[in-house]
Structure 1
Amino acid sequence: MIFLLRMTTPNKSLLFLNDGGEMGHIMRQKDWSKSPVGPPENWPSSLKTTLSFMLNSKFPMFLFWGADHICFYNDAYRPSLGNEGKHPELLGQKAEIYWAEIWDIISPEIFSVLNGGPSTWHENQLVPFYRNGQMEDIYWTYSYSPVTNALGQVEGVFTTCTETTSSVLNLAKIEASKDELEFAVDAADLGTWDYNPITHVFKGNNRLKDWFGLPPNGEIFLDDATAAIVAADRKRVRQQIEISLGDYESGGKYDVTYIIKNKLTARERIVRAIGRAWFNEDKVAYRFNGILQDITQREKASIELKASEERFRKLVKTAPIGITVLDGDDFVVKMANDMALSIWQRSYKEAVGKPLFEVLKEIKDSILPIFEAVKRTKKAKFGTEYPFTLERDGVAQIEYFNFIFQPLLKDDEVVEMILVAYEVSDMVKARFELQESQKQFKNFVNQSPIAMSIVRGDNLNIEMANNALLETFWRKKKDEVLGKDLLDIFPDLEGSKYPETLKEIIRTGIGVSENESYVVLESDDGVKEFYSDYDYQPLYDLDGLVSGVMVTGSDVTDRVLARKKLEQFSNDLEQEVEERTNALNAANQQLYQSLLNLQKTNEELEAFAYVSSHDLQEPLRKIQMFTNRLLERESNKLSEKGVQDVSKILASAQRMRNLIEDLLEYSRSKDTDVNFKSADLKVLLSQVIENLTSKIEATDALITYDELCTATVIPFQIKQVFQNLIENSIKFAQPNLQPTIEITTETITGEDTDIPTLMPHQMYYKISFKDNGIGFQPEHSDQIFELFKRLHGKFEYQGTGIGLAIVKRICENHNGAITASSQPLKGAQFSLFLPVL
């Protein structure tokens, strides 16, 4: 390659490339404008300094620069690239492209150093690459180290290296010679013999004489030696001796295995005799010598090995994990045990002898890349809980497996692959569902209007605290309390009964409840005195031990103060009974009505507290109990019983979540203290539909609606109405019929509705939800809005019977109403009436 120098004056910005030999000259002449590193004038000082050092060094050096790993090297490294290889095109190019054949070897170290890892060192490492027109096995001693800028940031990887191929190959030859020498030394432990066919004198070393039971001194004749051979082998051995001595064309070769029996000890040995007869010019044997090797153990081991192989074949065939052997080229199934065939749902004839991807077409996309990686790297690949799509009973479904794909090599090529896998689908799916159940439980706690928290351990570390607790009781933010000990947040509780009560529950597992407990709590905004109903219940770990406490509480200060005020008022009335009889009668009547209202409120609150403290705990205990069983019985693989237990966990968790959420919504639906605001009901409906996307897509439901209206409402309550009505229509859809829901809006007066609770001359928005579901009998149109009222069994259609009661209460909160009309199998229509303000 010829370079033309057009510069008439030296470029000061390229002075760092001066005196750089051939590579410095090439770098100065190269057009860098299209390179990822740009013109040398703009190169960072760290790159310039490194290149100046490299180009003036007589030691082979290489540099990978920047995120693209741009290649630089000096004259000393140049010979390593060979005569027909990458030079000079490699200069300034991306390493991943020009070092593709070894990128999987060198890239992990490059990335490690670039990411702040330590420098590396390798001695006599095999790193083959393309040079001199072919791939060559090349050995290197090299190191990778970081190149940093003034800020200490790693910008490149600096490589010093020297080729040690010759040294390694010479060392291999020395090792081979050493092996030959060791073989010769080992041969000294063999029996040796030397027979003269002319004199018939037989000589043997002491080991051979000891094996044959011959005297250690004196002459021995061939017949004396062959007499030690057992009768069954003696004739065959003598015939072989005669052939070796008498057949010149055989070359005198002698190799025979037989059994000898010691004349003195009667011990038998299996020996292999290897020797040769030597012939003179007249083609007459004059010498016959060789060695004798005791192969008794090897032969016995061979017999045992054959038996072991047979046992192994049976073990593999009946193993409880899938085992398969594939051809390394086209992945033909050479062997598949019973479990593998069961997993595939294929017979032996349908699978063995055929390409795997013809037997299981659906797994090709997911498994072929792994096979190719095994063949490319020649290393085993492992998978844990790896998802595969399998067709079972005609349905494609995702199943999970733990697997090992092990290559079998011959001449450094993958000739076969062993696949070992076992299915863990039940365990994975059970864990996913359990995690989802736990997530839903946490969401319930966080969103509950009842104050709730979870504390763990003897230090009462706060694991969870919902908004109701933080805002109503503690008056703190989540990041101020979560993960911290209770007494560190509220030191004024030290010495009070509450910390000791919580610790006692962790020790004993016995829950505690108390009503109208007087509490003094100091927070950042001062001291707060209040009365609380609380319930402390233990939380169990999978091992059955109590590790924490679920705390629920309600602020009943208003109720207590009201009662005390009433008591004081009653005392005052008694003192003034003679003076204010008429006023007292009126006050008593008012008081009686207030007591009735208060009693009703208390009953509802107590009912809700009962549900929260009992129905909440019951599904929780089932989750813990059945999960514990799952861990104890099915630690490796879920059995059929394990699947049943997990199903019970899920059923209990779902029932708990539905019941509590509905009860919470029902108790919250009477709340009219929140602010009414003008809201676009179409926007609220869109938000509800988005929240229900998974249910809508799962049932292929079709929902249509008009522009609706803008009304003065409590937005979150109206969204609850929309969600309950849509979920109700989807739940009671007719089998094999696409659910459809049509939502329309019109304006009417109260007197047009025939609803007695509506004002006759008031204008109302009538929002109708009409579906094509199973419907109901017309006489049930009022009953369906009653609390816990169900028209179907709980196993036929899931639910708590609270949803429509919530809808009715919210409508009443808005001074409106709701009606229902239906016929069996002809769908249902729910009409919501909201006043036009």
Structure 2
Amino acid sequence: MEPLPHPQNLDDQIRLKAIIDTAIDGIITIDARGIIETVNPAAARIFGYLPEEVIGQNISMLMPEPDKSRHDQYMVNYYKTGEGQIIGKGREVVGQRKDGSVFPFLLSISEARLKDKVIFTGIVHDISQQKKAERAQRESENKINSIIEAAVDGIITIDPRGIMEMVNPSAARLFGYEAQELLGQNISMLMPEPDHSRHDAYMDHYHRTGQKKIIGIGREVSGLKKDGTVFPLYLSISEVQLEDRKVYTGFIHDITHQKMSEERLRRYAAELERSNGELQDFAYVSSHDLQEPLRKIQAFGDRLKNKEKDHLSAQGQDYIDRMLNAAVRMQNLINDLLTFSRVTTKSKPFEKVNLDVILQEVLSDLEITIEKTGTVIERTPLPVIEAEPTQIRQLFQNLISNAIKFRREEATPVIKITSRLVQRRAHLTSTPGDEHVEISIEDNGIGFDEKYLDRIFNIFQRLEGQKYEGSGIGLAICRKIATRHGGDITAQSKQGVGTRFIITLATKHLQE
């Protein structure tokens, strides 16, 4: 008769059985041959069997191929060498359920040597849901990455120090880099001055004070390409708090074409506003009603002069000469109007023009007049811009001729020609029409009262009456040329002291 179990041992066994039976993870014991001896409810449930369906069977029944066929050999090798691939180690493996489906689980196996045999206990932790969640997360990440990779707009992520951690292809392409050239670099490398130098201080100020200048706010800024080109972009930045740090994501939308369209509309509106009145005047004075009578006056005047000369007194011949001279002046006036109208439509494509060369050619054309009047020309270098050379030549010709014409007899005429680059709006120098050259042509002539400033650029306006030759249309042509070149013209003057004309011309122009 066997001795009765010690009460303490019996309590331990009951407690142990209760723990095993209620465990969430599966617990399976096998003997040295791989035969299943015990299976707790969780293990049976995980594999889809009843306990009695697996007890006494080889553990390989719970394995898919190729592990199923290899298991017995694995046990043999373990006994021969003592080297186990999984015994004493936890690892991820694949199990096979009763219905044939396979699933991932974490398996840890321990070896226990009893009095008369060796048994192995496996702890089975089903990670199907975890793997499913991981797959879903990977899918989500892949989807997000695909969206980022394929996005038309640039997307850049930086850390709190401004170091770029992620750059999508559109952002790299937009700035003219390969993505690997940007990763690990400070975002300020993509900014022109003064933003380039200010960025680190801005980040530091934000971290200290929380005051936002651009984070969470969309605004227009300028970007700097690898080749040095500056371009306008719309930037919106979002701040994301991760577990241990913050990151900032910038969404970059190139607005070059938008700015070009705005510039085109701006020029069109300015041109339309200024030309409406002028075109009405031109249509009136150059109509058939003006030209037809003029042709008759000239025709009949010529007949009187040539055929009736002998029948006219000396005074009558003088009247006819005066009439014909007036008709010539009228014809010149009409020709000037036609010249004015031609400026309205750009006849030739804009090209790179060296303003210094154009100015030198104009001064050469006026050389005799300059020498005769003793005019002194003082000039500084002018830049190269995109322009229509014929119109720029006409602009310089008119203004310099005027400066010589309206000189003071008692003073040596001095004409100073200078230039400087200006911007209509800061930080958008790449927008066509935004960057201008400002040209100053200053004389020490008779000047005029600035209360007439609005009049002098209108056609037919002559402040000096008949004292000086001309139709009074030259400055109107100058303004039309400046407008066609994305700029304008104005003047500063004082009677008896001189006049300074200020012309602005865009350095770049829209491609038609």
> Shared topology, TM-score over 0.5?
no
TM-score range relative to shorter protein: 0.3 to 0.5
Higher relative contact order (CA 8 A, sep 6+): 2
TM-score (normalizing by structure 2): 0.44
TM-score (normalizing by structure 1): 0.29
